[in-house]
Amino acid sequence: MGEKEPATGCFVTPDEFAATAHVSRETMTRLEAMDRVLIESLTRHNLIARSTIGDRWRRHYLDAAQIVPLLPANARSVFDLGSGAGFPGLVLAAMLVEKDVHVTLVESTGKKSKFLSAAASAMGLSNVTVIPERIENLSTPKPPDIITARALARLAKLLGYGAGIARQKTRYFLPKGQDVEGELTEAAKYWHMEVIRHASITSPDATILEIGNLRRAQ
């Protein structure tokens, strides 16, 4: 996403999103199908803040899509915790379906899990599973390669959620806001981890944390 990155804070159109995220026409068709379901659902449910609707292709779609080039090439499974309106989970699924990556969306709120299922169906995605359960109740026979979560909880709590289903090689990709250093300091009381900070292309105050080799502090 190098040469066509928009200036942070700029309004992004669907065409500009497609160029910046380097998505194929097929992928864009899937995302436009998601967007139609999202906009229709907003008449009944508050899935995203109404103040962000007009700039959703930057605030939500591009914010999710920028994670894709950061993922390890050998990743085959993603768990998105607290998937909400499908960011980043559904966007990742749309962009990774041709790479045979399966995305599991975990969302306990009924109206949101129903939206996720409806959107995935409209997008024609075969690589998505929606789990309408609380994260604390999750169990999986095969730990995921990747865990993501957006605007769900502070870092220390997120890592606790993930630790219940992760393995040692699981990597976390977590968008965070301007208090990222405070969250890292807090989390370090409970967790040892390797951290890589990736600058967000959608906001100068945002960071994507890449976390690996997670283990509990003694």
Cβ atoms of 185 and 159 closer than 8 Å = no
Cα 39 to its chain centre, rounded Å, is 19
Cα 82 to its chain centre, rounded Å, is 9
pLDDT score, position 138: 85
Which helix (H) or strand (E) is 94 found in, with range?
helix 89-96
Q: Name the stretches of the chain with pLDDT < 70.
A: 1-10
pLDDT score, position 75: 97
Contacts of 137 (CB under 8 A, 6+ apart): none
pLDDT score, position 12: 87
Q: How far apart are CA 128 and CA 196, in angstroms?
A: 27
Strand-pairing partners, residue 165, are none
Does the domain made of 14-216 have the CATH classification 1.10.357.10?
no
- Structural tokens at position 205: 């105050």
Q: How far apart are CA 51 and CA 59, in angstroms?
A: 10
Q: How far apart are CA 49 and CA 72, in angstroms?
A: 31
Beta strands in the chain (DSSP E): 77-81, 102-106, 128-131, 146-149, 171-176, 191-199, 207-216
Which helix (H) or strand (E) is 204 found in, with range?
none
What's the pTM value of the predicted model, to 2 decimals? 0.93
